[in-house]
Amino acid sequence: MSEKLKILIADDETLARNRLKDLLSDLSDVVVVAEAKNGKQAIDLAVIEQPDLLLLDIRMPLMDGLEAAEHAQKLEQKPYIIFTTAYDTYAIKAFDVSAIDYLLKPIRIERLIAAIDKVRALKPMASAAQMEAIKSLQQNARSHLSIHERGRIILVPVEEVLYCRAELKYITVRTVEREYLLEESLTNLEAEFDTLFIRLHRNCLVAKQHISGYEKRPDEKGDLHWHALLKGVPDTIAVSRRQQHLIRKT
Amino acid sequence: MRKNSRLPNLKNLGVLLRILVIVNLLGLLAAMLRSAEISDLPPLIAELSMQIQPILLTSILTLYLLYPLLIKLNYWQGITVIILVVISITTLIAMLFTIYLTFDTVSIPYRSIVLSSVTTAIVIYYFNLQQRAYSPAIAEARLQALQARIRPHFLFNSINAVLSLIRSQPKTAETALEDMADLFRVLMAENRDLVPLANEIALCKQYLSIESLRMEERLVLNWQIDKAPMDALIPPLILQPLLENAVYHGIEPIPEGGEISIIIEQKQNELMIKISNPCNTKNNDHDGNKMALKNIKERLALHFDLEASIKHRTINNQYTITMRLPYEKR
């Protein structure tokens, strides 16, 4: 392997990032291409820098390392992932039974080298298996949805989403500004974000906090049906007959 | 801390309340014994209460005033004085009752004297038992178990931060290690006696300077302690865990950080401590926080009984803890 391994470091503490940079600067065959203060920044930078390896702190504001690792799977060139953590009993237990590597802070150079050697030896197939494991580690709902768009990854904060509507192969994700196409299943989204979204129609999840009210509107035949009104956009969501009991509760 | 006597602390509101409750419960029991029907009970209670309350309240007031003298005696002398005081008050009040209400000839009220002596003995025995349950050895063990534990998260992150400073800023690394040593010396100390507020504040400042290294400009501190009585005695490590929570739950999860304000002041005979920090409503993993609060609550109860309190509330994404302790000096 003649080319240097490109590494992205993500940690919210400057000193922790400096520590990793110091250690990595002692190694000859690696180069740090970017530093991020949180998971979201890590993904944004990874899109530009295309690193081979992400060193992700688990506990970061805005987006944690576990979630960033999941979004990173949509990158053109899937990077290897090593997590860093000071103390996290839950995650460490989970890592010990999976193939994913992690480093405990304070980080030792020997451990760092061993971890890098290990990921380099991995075949791409094995990395796919690792990612299944990362998914299972996620205990909290994601903070962002990642949209794959013309080779880029756009992170949409979940609280900005007005509704998700299933169409043929994709899901349309609507925010005040625009629409995005997401490759996921509505059922999984419903299960993950059950506190935020309400299923008003067989094909539509609506964000509770963005509903401004309900109104009866006539359809082509002149029959009246309930529609949910949304804050900030003229779109309305038809409420299916079976879900009408949900309106009464709100 | 407490004076050297084993007598119940008659200056403590909790103790006085307990006396009132016990005596009145005994009165209720007596009324029940005498009532054949449930309908007899209210008039019986009223009648008994009329005899009990004047004696009870006068005795408590007298003993409250005599307390500074009582603690100079040994335990049995103290008990004797207490019983004698109660007997005299009972006799006096019972005789006044006879003179002004029934106009009978005055005689020594044997029955009242025996009953109030027995009641006093029961109350003293209760406090003796309670004190044994909370005896110094057991209380010490409980305090030890309740001793504040710093998050391992903090320890390892700090060591990691100091390691990164050693190459570039050895001076800062030195100070940080010295602060950590001081902090852990107190954390590992056996001695659970009350300490002056000034010590705890100094310790908290050391702790926060380590956190500032890690958090940098994300951590803003606002100390309002000009009016704080620095000689007030407080349980050690009662402030530090609250600040640790404020950093862990209030600063770390927010990308741009925020301000922690610490207000300490004296209000009459109370010490008031108020800590507030921003909080992210989305982030609701407050289990660690609850544990620290429960722990501090128990330690306050062991030291001050009912005279200390701790409350918390969240308004507009701002989390505030208010703690009140009696102002004690050495």
Beta bridge partners of A174: A163, A179
What is residue B224's predicted lDDT score, i.e. its pLDDT?
96
CA–CA distance, A82 with A67 (Å, rounded to integer): 13
Mutation test of the interface with chain B: which of A14, A15, A102, A107, choosing the one with the most B Cβ atoms within 10 A?
Answer: A15
- B160 and A62 within 8 Å at the Cβ level: the answer is no
**Which of A11-25, A134-148, B129-143: highest mean pLDDT?**
A11-25
pLDDT band at A49 (very low <50, low <70, confident <90, very high): very high
In which residue are the tokens 């009350």 written? B194
Q: What integer pLDDT is reported at residue B2 of this predicted model?
A: 42
User: Does A15 reach chain B within 8 Å, measured CB to CB?
Assistant: yes
Q: Which one has a higher pLDDT value, A152 or B122?
A: B122
> Which of B232, B240, B246 lies closest to B312 in space, CA to CA?
B246
Hey, is the C-beta of A111 within 8 angstroms of any chain B C-beta? Answer: no
Here the tokens at position B50 are 């009329």
ipTM of the complex: 0.79
pLDDT in tens, A130-158: 667 777 777 778 899 999 888 788 999 99
Grade residue B34 by pLDDT with cuts at 50, 70 and 90.
confident
Q: What is the pLDDT of residue B4?
A: 44
At residue B253, φ and ψ (nearest 5 deg) are -75, -5
The yes-or-no verdict on residue A91 having pLDDT over 80 is no
User: What confidence category does residue B3 fall into, taking pLDDT thresholds of 50, 70 and 90?
Assistant: very low
CB of B254 within 8 Å of a chain A CB? The answer is yes
Q: Decide the pairing of beta strands B270-278 and B258-267.
A: antiparallel
* B contacts of A106 (beta carbons < 8 Å): 156, 159-160, 163
Q: Shortest CB distance from A106 goes to which of B156, B167, B254?
A: B156
pLDDT at A1 over 60: no
Q: How far is CA A197 from CA A145, A204, B113, B284, in A?
A: 14, 10, 73, 18
Count other Cβ atoms within 10 Å, centred on residue B109: 19
Residue A196 has pLDDT above 70, yes or no: yes
pLDDT in tens, A216-249: 888 888 788 889 999 989 988 988 888 888 777 6
User: Which pLDDT score, from 0 to 100, does residue A48 have?
Assistant: 92
pLDDT surpasses 80 at B103: no
| pLDDT at residue B100 is higher than 90 | no
Selected residue with higher pLDDT from A38 and A99: A38
Residue in A closest to B284 by C-alpha: A140
Can you give the pLDDT at residue B310?
A: 93
Burial class (CB in 10 A: 0-12, 13-18, 19+), B66: middle
- The answer to whether the Cβ–Cβ distance between A13 and B215 falls below 8 Å is yes
Q: What's residue B95's pLDDT?
A: 84
- Of the residues B159, B163, B209, the best mutation for testing chain A's interface (the one with the most A CB atoms within 10 Å of its CB) is B163
Q: Cβ distance B35 to B53 under 8 Å?
A: no
